[in-house]
Structure 1
Amino acid sequence: MSTLQTTTTLRRGPVPRNSLRTTASIVGWLFIVTYVTAIAAKVAFYPPLFDGDYVTGPGQDTRVLWGAVFEAVLIIANIGTATFLWPVLKRQHESLAMSYVAARIMESVFIAVGVLSVLTVVTLRQTYAAADPGATAGLTVAGDAFVTVQEWTFGLGPNFVVGVGNGVILGYLMYRSRLVPRKLAVLGLVGGPLLILSAAAAMVGVIELDGTWQVLSAVPEFFWELGLGIYLVVKGFKPSPVTAGTDDER
């Protein structure tokens, strides 16, 4: 056996099947957590931010702050999906697997900026709005600016970057590796480019940010990620060349 063959064998050496099953289950649950936290924050907790002038209004601080907490958990779950998948995906394509980790981290950075914007808006309302009625106009502008930042971080992170990472890169790796049914992975390969295009269109003003077209473009990606999470929890990884040499296949 040549040196190159030996190195390849060591790098792609046997991985215990029970370890792969555990990894699949953890990743699946983490994807489900990303759904619960992202949807809860956007749909259940953050709406008061976008109903008029939050800073000088009555506010629903506790509700909004819970949204920030949920998004903080979302960041942890996002990075967890990538780091737990890394040892498996690198057996298919190491560079793309690292690119997926990087994309997931970048998505989390955008989310973190959005969380900071939300916390800033709440702090402005609590600290200045009641204390200085004469500064209402300035506070309104500042509050609107931070709310707009939050909207755009959602448009760029969970839309554009997700289209690249979870859509194109993860969809391709799962399709090539056959770790999940290929029909499921195709949803990522379709949904990823749609998210990228819709986010780009929103950036240049062709469509409305978070509007109907952007929501519709997210449908394939929605079912791809949800389906992936459920499949990994219920079934685990499918036997494939990537899992060759595991205990169950000897």
Structure 2
Amino acid sequence: MTSLRKIALVAGALYLLTFVSIPTLALYGPVREPNYIVGPGPDTAVMVGGVLEMIVALACIGTAVVLYPVVKRQNEAVALGFVGVRVLEAATIVAGVVILMSVVTLRQAGAGADALVTGQALVAMRDWTFMLGQGFLPAVNALLLGFLLYRSRLVPRVLPLLGFIGAPLLVASAAATLFGLWEQASAPSALLTIPIALWGAVPWRLVSGQGLQALTHHNWHGRHQHPARQPRPHPLWAEHLTAEHTAGAHKARPLSAPPDGRDARFCRRPGAALNS
């Protein structure tokens, strides 16, 4: 298995892992209840949701680290910004998990009714962390990675455009929630996140193997190849070029056996196919 194929498999698996936190919308339902700290019931659902979000946080960092050596060949500064924003997004996810686990700790410690206000404040803090960390930063990620893919021209142009369209819509949804126009889990919010959700399939197209190999081949062997990397004539032929050829006559000569005795079919003299 080639190194490119390994990168494709690892990045693809990590992008799939970023979707495992979808059940947390239901798992975190009990902790949002006003009387959660003094209420009955197990805390297993909240803990499972925290584990899933930790997996997503690590996968966020992993996708950026794995793709960075590839996308930096398009624009290293933008690629580095993509890694930084991705790490910041993961940090906000971890912060949200820590906040919710603090609420669970208060409940298990039997803090009672005196801790109700504290618990509600922690839940509100977690909601704000989620809104900024997973409502705004993914839009920045979409713009950065979309720019890299759009510039590379290795995927259809309509796919990066999904990121360019979905990013402002996601920010608009977060802003509407911020100013109280609708709830975070509402129909308008879900509708505005559809383009950015479809955009999530674009990195999978890149790391599917063919797109990744095309990206590296474009930079290593394509028309933008550095002149120093261009193939040079075999030194043995350079020693046996005639004076007529070096003077600019460039007349085609019959292919003769090379001086070291190798088969002439596998040793082409540079300029032999040129006509005067």
- Identify which of 201, 204, 215 aligns with 1:226: 201
Letter aligned with residue 83 of structure 1: V
The structure with the largest helix share of the pair is 1
Classify 1:160/1:222 alpha carbon distance in 2 versus 1 (closer, same or farther; 3 Å). Answer: same
Pairwise CA distance, 1:60: 2.9
Deviates more, 1:150-159 or 1:205-214: 205-214
Structure showing greater radius of gyration is: 2
Report what 1:21 is aligned to.
5
TM-score normalised per structure 1: 0.80
1:42 and 2:25 matched: yes
Map residues 73-222 of structure 1 onto 2, 5 A cutoff: 73-129=55-111, 135-136=112-113, 138-165=114-141, 167-222=142-197
Letter aligned with residue 25 of structure 1: L
Report what 1:132 is aligned to.
none
Pairwise CA distance, 1:200: 2.5
Classify 1:242/1:148 alpha carbon distance in 2 versus 1 (closer, same or farther; 3 Å). Answer: farther
Identity %: 39
CA distance in 1, matches of 2:10, 2:153: 19
Q: Which has the higher contact order (CA 8 A, sep 6+)?
A: 1
Q: Which runs of 4+ in 1 moved over 4 A?
A: none
Report what 2:274 is aligned to.
none
Classify 1:180/1:28 alpha carbon distance in 2 versus 1 (closer, same or farther; 3 Å). Answer: farther
Classify 1:180/1:23 alpha carbon distance in 2 versus 1 (closer, same or farther; 3 Å). Answer: farther
Pairwise CA distance, 1:221: 0.8
Secondary structure in 2 matching 1:92:
coil
Pairwise CA distance, 1:125: 0.3
User: What is the CA RMSD across the aligned residues, in angstroms?
Assistant: 2.5
Secondary structure in 2 matching 1:222:
helix
Deviation per residue, 1:16-55 (Å, 9 max, x gap) = x93233222221211110012x212233x22222244211
CA distance in 1, matches of 2:210, 2:23: 26
Confirm or deny: 8 A CA contact 1:177 1:242 kept in the other structure. Answer: no
Unaligned stretches of 5+ in structure 1? 1-16, 130-134
Pairwise CA distance, 1:235: 4.5
Report what 2:36 is aligned to.
54
Classify 1:76/1:68 alpha carbon distance in 2 versus 1 (closer, same or farther; 3 Å). Answer: same
Classify 1:241/1:75 alpha carbon distance in 2 versus 1 (closer, same or farther; 3 Å). Answer: closer
Deviation per residue, 1:126-183 (Å, 9 max, x gap) = 0024xxxxx50x3111111111122222211111111111x21111111111343332
Confirm or deny: 8 A CA contact 2:154 2:215 kept in the other structure. Answer: yes
Confirm or deny: 8 A CA contact 1:163 1:196 kept in the other structure. Answer: yes
Letter aligned with residue 127 of structure 1: A
